[in-house]
Amino acid sequence: MSGKLRAFLSGSSLGVRLGATLMLALIPLGILSVVQTRNTLDEIDATALEGVGGAALQAVRDQIDLIKEAQISVRVLATVLSQSPVEDAACKDQVAAIARDIPQATLVAYIPVSGLMSCSSTGQVYDFKDRPNFQNILADPKPTIVYSIYGPVSGTAVVGINHPVFDRSGTLIGIAAISLAYTAVAPDSYVDYFALWRPSYLATFLADGTLLLSSDPAIDPAKELPSKVDLKRLALVADRPSYIDQGSGRNIMSVVSVTDGLYLLSIWQRETGNFWQQASSAVPYLLPILTWTAALAVAAFASSHLVVRHIRALSRTMTDYVATRKRLQMPDMGGAPAEIRNLSAAYEDMIRTIEQEEAELQNLLVDKDLLLREVNHRSGNSLQIIASIMRMYRREAPDQKLRAVLDGLINRVIALSSTHTSLYALSGQRDVAMDVVLANVVKRLKEIHGVALGVASKRLQPIRMDSQAAVPLALALAEAVGCFFSRPGLGRDAVVVDLSESDGTIRLRLEGPEVPQLLPETTSGLLSLPQRMLRQFAAQLSGTVSIRLEGERASVELVFPRPTGAAGM
């Protein structure tokens, strides 16, 4: 342990050399740059908060002035109506005059205590008797401002300015009302010295948290706010912008009081502006960048002189060895650090080990290829011998049912032999061409059953599959085609073999004449054996098999997903 520590602390250690150089360059400048950057960013944050708050307040200035103007107008209207008897003609002229002076007003009206409005700037008649806001004003007659998402007369969001009307005796006779169309305000973007702030979400809400309008009704306001803040508490932070962290980055939340009980919520996102704004945003980091640039320059000189030139020499040697597979002369590592000298020695040992193991591996590959060819050759001969023995038994068997059983077994062995032959011919490949394998199986079955040329029509897409999946698919083909070929008197294109692939699903479809083995009602006995075999092969492929009878034609369809690791063409 002590020896390793001494080696690490020695003057030839790469870590000690570069570490000492970087420490001398970074310690004083790093401390100064961090302090200066932190102070600058704090000032930027404070300026941005003030600017965003001012921009939001300026955006609602017109709304505030409009509400104040409406308050004065409705107070004047209430005074005029209290001084003289209210007549429909005179009343309508007065409200129409006020409506002309305030274009933003959706309704200027006088509502008597009965609630039936007949004097309005729009000429509409509406009964407010059952409206909660109307009853509240009658119960406590005083000037009020009411906010409604859906105005009963205009059908839009409105701000209602109401003032009670008293007669000369001081009795409440009605209410003078002005409804202002309320729309969401959109503050202009705020540009500070380093960045451009844009409002990404706007919403107006009441003091109790009721949402009035928003810039995007599809967005839930709770998703735009921090998890610990809701609309009911936003009134407590009015006129105090603050930073919030969201998925899109660091944003600013501003709440501005529009008037009594009405607030504007705005979420501001930071965006980079033009080239000069982007350059200005890099000013706080200029000193750290210069610090690290100086450090990199020192490190580059130190690494080039102490490390890189030795690494390059060793790299050229390694690259030449990879390209030519020949050992070249090792570079001189006398002045290199201890780590690089150890790396060079390890590389030399590795080259010697690779050469020895490559020679041994080459010998093993030659032996393996010879053994594999011998095994394949003997396996093919064994399958042929089995098929020949079964043919001998078939010729000597007097029982026709036994002959049919032996025919089925011979077909299966032939299919396995054809598959094996195809795999053996394509040895060394990770997957096999199923169109070639299945075509060979059909060809061999024709020879066994004595079927004429042109009886089987093949439409086989060039699909490649793993050899393990090729065996059950070939056996399934042999099982079904053998049943079709067993029927005598087959004409041209009597049997159709179709192999296709679509969207990762492989489909083998076989069509031929009606045979007893492939009838849907054949579910038991010796004749049901082909169907059971087909289901077993489909299960090995994680697929399904279906048998249909249309007229005098039977079809067998095997569908399974492409085996993992197989490649299509």
Q: 144-148 and 505-513: which strand pairing?
A: unpaired
> Are residues 160 and 256 both part of a single domain?
no
> Are residues 207 and 224 both part of a single domain?
yes
What local confidence, expressed as pLDDT, does residue 569 receive? 42
Angle formed by the axes of helices 467-485 and 434-449, to 10°?
Answer: 30
Predicted confidence band of residue 7 (pLDDT cuts 50, 70, 90): very low
What local confidence, expressed as pLDDT, does residue 508 receive? 93
Q: What is the arithmetic mean of pLDDT over 7-16? A: 49
> Are residues 54 and 164 both part of a single domain?
no
**pLDDT score of 447 more than 70:** yes
Output the 3-class SS for 230-255: CHHHHHHHCCCCEEEEECCEEEEEEE
Taking the C-alpha atoms of residue 475 and residue 469, their distance in angstroms, rounded to an integer, is 10
What local confidence, expressed as pLDDT, does residue 183 receive? 66
The maximal CA–CA distance of the chain, rounded, in angstroms, is 132
List the one residue out of 202, 156, 199 whose CA is nearest residue 179.
156
> Are residues 475 and 537 both part of a single domain?
yes
**pLDDT score of 273 more than 60:** no
Q: Answer whether residue 140 is part of any domain.
A: yes
Q: Answer whether residue 321 is part of any domain.
A: no
Residue that is last in its domain, among 247, 277, 307: 277
* Location of structure tokens 């094996």: 420
Q: Answer whether residue 474 is part of any domain.
A: yes
Q: Answer whether residue 141 is part of any domain.
A: yes
Q: Is 454 left (phi over 0), alpha (psi -120 to 50) or beta?
A: left
> Are residues 553 and 437 both part of a single domain?
yes
> Are residues 164 and 87 both part of a single domain?
yes
Q: What is the arithmetic mean of pLDDT over 401-421? A: 73
Cα torsion 112, 114, 115, 120: sign: negative
Q: What is the arithmetic mean of pLDDT over 244-252? A: 73
What local confidence, expressed as pLDDT, does residue 557 receive? 93
Buried b (16+ CB within 10 A) or exposed e, 197-219: bebbbbbbbbbeeeebbbbeeee
Q: Is 239 left (phi over 0), alpha (psi -120 to 50) or beta?
A: left
Q: Which two tokens stand for residue 449?
A: 């059953």
Q: Answer whether residue 408 is part of any domain.
A: no
User: What confidence tens digit (pLDDT) does each residue in 540-561 have?
Assistant: 999 999 999 888 899 999 999 9
What local confidence, expressed as pLDDT, does residue 509 receive? 93
**pLDDT score of 2 more than 80:** no
Amino acid, res. 458? K
Q: Answer whether residue 481 is part of any domain.
A: yes
Half-sphere exposure of 14 (CA within 13 A, CB side): 17
CATH number of the CATH domain containing 450: 3.30.565.10
Amino acid, res. 158? V
User: What confidence tens digit (pLDDT) does each residue in 88-140 have?
Assistant: 778 888 888 888 888 888 888 888 888 888 888 888 888 888 888 888 888 88
Q: What is the arithmetic mean of pLDDT over 492-514? A: 91
What local confidence, expressed as pLDDT, does residue 497 receive? 93
Residues 6+ apart with CB under 8 A from 258: 60, 63, 64, 67, 204, 264
Taking the C-alpha atoms of residue 538 and residue 544, their distance in angstroms, rounded to an integer, is 5
CB 483 within 8 A of CB 531: no
Residue that is last in its domain, among 277, 299, 332: 277
**pLDDT score of 13 more than 60:** no
What local confidence, expressed as pLDDT, does residue 543 receive? 92
**pLDDT score of 310 more than 90:** no
Q: Answer whether residue 477 is part of any domain.
A: yes
Taking the C-alpha atoms of residue 236 and residue 294, their distance in angstroms, rounded to an integer, is 49
> Are residues 505 and 534 both part of a single domain?
yes
User: What confidence tens digit (pLDDT) does each residue in 451-472 have?
Assistant: 888 888 899 999 888 877 888 8
What local confidence, expressed as pLDDT, does residue 45 receive? 75
Residues 6+ apart with CB under 8 A from 33: 287, 288, 291
Residue that is last in its domain, among 143, 166, 181: 181
> Are residues 240 and 97 both part of a single domain?
no
What local confidence, expressed as pLDDT, does residue 436 receive? 85
> Are residues 88 and 54 both part of a single domain?
no
**171 against 9, higher pLDDT:** 171
What local confidence, expressed as pLDDT, does residue 561 receive? 92
Distance from the Cα of residue 262 to its chain's centroid: 40
**pLDDT score of 3 more than 60:** no
Domain that holds residue 126: 63-181
What local confidence, expressed as pLDDT, does residue 391 receive? 82
> Are residues 177 and 193 both part of a single domain?
no
Residues 6+ apart with CB under 8 A from 182: 63, 147, 156, 157, 158, 159, 204, 212, 213
Predicted confidence band of residue 275 (pLDDT cuts 50, 70, 90): low
Q: Answer whether residue 31 is part of any domain.
A: no
| Mean pLDDT rounded to a whole number for the chain | 77
Q: What is the arithmetic mean of pLDDT over 297-326? A: 70
Taking the C-alpha atoms of residue 417 and residue 177, their distance in angstroms, rounded to an integer, is 98
Q: Lowest-confidence range among 14-18, 49-53, 338-342, 516-520? A: 14-18
> Are residues 152 and 226 both part of a single domain?
no
Angle formed by the axes of helices 338-396 and 14-59, to 10°?
Answer: 80
Q: Count the neighbouring beta carbons within 10 Å of the beta carbon of residue 39.
A: 11
User: What confidence tens digit (pLDDT) does each residue in 430-443 have?
Assistant: 677 888 888 888 88
What local confidence, expressed as pLDDT, does residue 9 receive? 45
Predicted confidence band of residue 500 (pLDDT cuts 50, 70, 90): very high
User: What confidence tens digit (pLDDT) does each residue in 213-232 have?
Assistant: 666 667 777 777 776 677 77
CATH number of the CATH domain containing 92: 3.30.450.20
**What domain count does the chain have?**
3
Predicted confidence band of residue 296 (pLDDT cuts 50, 70, 90): low
**pLDDT score of 364 more than 60:** yes
Taking the C-alpha atoms of residue 214 and residue 184, their distance in angstroms, rounded to an integer, is 6
> Are residues 80 and 224 both part of a single domain?
no
Q: Which two tokens stand for residue 545?
A: 């098999």
What local confidence, expressed as pLDDT, does residue 385 receive? 86
Q: What is the arithmetic mean of pLDDT over 184-208? A: 69
